[in-house]
């Protein structure tokens, strides 16, 4: 019911796929401000079209805009509960929209779900099928370390995944504490969430809050 309600809201306001792509990118990169020209270059869009879409998203109350000098910069509206709930729904779709070559990986990672707070896939494997290993961030309470290790061993022994999985184990507090570490920041910003979009949105929001 919750997902359907958010989905209906998204449809009624009529977000385009490119608008969702822009909103999700800006949301995930929570420490940055973006002008339309920079976004256009990053996301391979026409500058004028990117500017129009960013203003549209501001009008739909997903983005906030700020004039700095002669330029207009956009950030996500992290203070808006509807905007955060909308992003929870959009991020939840990543588990269904991962690249075809990661289907077995995504299915195997579900074994962790009862024992962790969040998992996501990052690195080259989310961008190209020609990858050498799979990078996975797993966030969980340290009291579950034995169970998590056992599941890692089960996945490895199953032989279903040819490439090695490189796990990064952290707690939520670790992520917030190390948010200014470029490697950690890129890890959470440039990723696909495989479990718990609600926790991911909460974590990104906290990173934004404590980056001020």
| Cα torsion angle, 64, 185, 125, 199, sign | negative
Same structural domain, 51 and 71: yes
CA distance 102 to 108: 10
Taking CB atoms within 8 Å and a gap of at least 24, the contacts of 47-55 are 49/18, 50/22, 53/16, 53/18, 53/19, 53/22, 54/22
% of the chain residues with pLDDT over 70: 93
Question: Mean of the per-residue pLDDT values for the chain?
Answer: 91
Same structural domain, 131 and 195: yes
Same structural domain, 79 and 98: no
- Averaged pLDDT for residues 115-138: 96
Question: Which pLDDT belongs to residue 132?
Answer: 93
Using DSSP, state whether 147 is helix, strand or coil: helix
Same structural domain, 56 and 108: no
**In whole angstroms, how far apart are CA 102 and each of 65, 125, 130, 162, 175?**
36, 8, 12, 11, 25
* Residue 159 covered by a domain: yes
* Residue 46 covered by a domain: yes
Same structural domain, 112 and 174: yes
Same structural domain, 143 and 68: no
* Residue 88 covered by a domain: no
Last residue of a domain, one of 52, 83, 114: 83
Q: What pTM did the predictor assign? A: 0.89
Residues in the chain: 212
Same structural domain, 159 and 189: yes
Strands 165-170 and 134-139: parallel
| Model confidence pLDDT, tens digit, residues 31-71 | 999 999 999 999 999 999 999 999 999 999 999 999 998 88
* Residue 89 covered by a domain: no
Last residue of a domain, one of 32, 51, 83: 83
CATH of the domain at 187: 3.30.460.10
Using DSSP, state whether 134 is helix, strand or coil: strand
Number of domains in the chain: 2
| Model confidence pLDDT, tens digit, residues 174-201 | 999 998 999 999 999 999 999 999 999 9
* Residue 134 covered by a domain: yes
Tokens matching residue 204: 């990104």
Task: State the pLDDT confidence band at 211, using cuts at 50, 70 and 90.
Answer: confident
Same structural domain, 58 and 98: no
Q: What range does the domain containing 32 cover?
A: 2-83
Question: Which pLDDT belongs to residue 10?
Answer: 46
Phi and psi at 73, nearest 5°, equal -115, 150
Same structural domain, 106 and 185: yes
């Amino acid at each position: 019911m919750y997902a359907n309600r958010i989905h209906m809201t998204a449809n009624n306001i009529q977000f385009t796929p490119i608008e969702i792509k822009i909103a999700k990118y800006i949301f995930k990169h929570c420490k940055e401000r973006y002008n339309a020209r920079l976004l256009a270059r990053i996301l391979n869009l026409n500058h004028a079209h990117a500017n129009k879409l960013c203003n549209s998203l501001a009008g739909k109350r997903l983005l906030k805009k700020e004039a700095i000098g002669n330029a207009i910069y956009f950030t996500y509206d992290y203070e808006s509960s509807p905007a955060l709930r909308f992003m929870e729904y959009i991020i939840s779709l990543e588990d269904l929209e991962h690249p075809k070559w990661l289907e077995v990986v995504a299915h195997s990672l579900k074994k962790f779900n009862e024992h962790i707070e969040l998992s996501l896939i990052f690195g080259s494997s989310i961008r190209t099928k020609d990858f050498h290993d799979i990078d996975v961030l797993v966030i969980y309470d340290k009291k579950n370390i034995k169970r998590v290790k056992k599941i890692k061993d089960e996945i490895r022994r199953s032989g279903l995944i040819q490439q090695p999985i490189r796990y990064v184990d952290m707690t939520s507090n670790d992520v917030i504490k190390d948010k200014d570490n470029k490697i950690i920041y890129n890890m959470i910003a440039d990723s696909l969430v495989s479990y718990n979009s609600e926790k991911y949105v909460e974590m990104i929001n906290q990173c934004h809050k404590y980056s001020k």
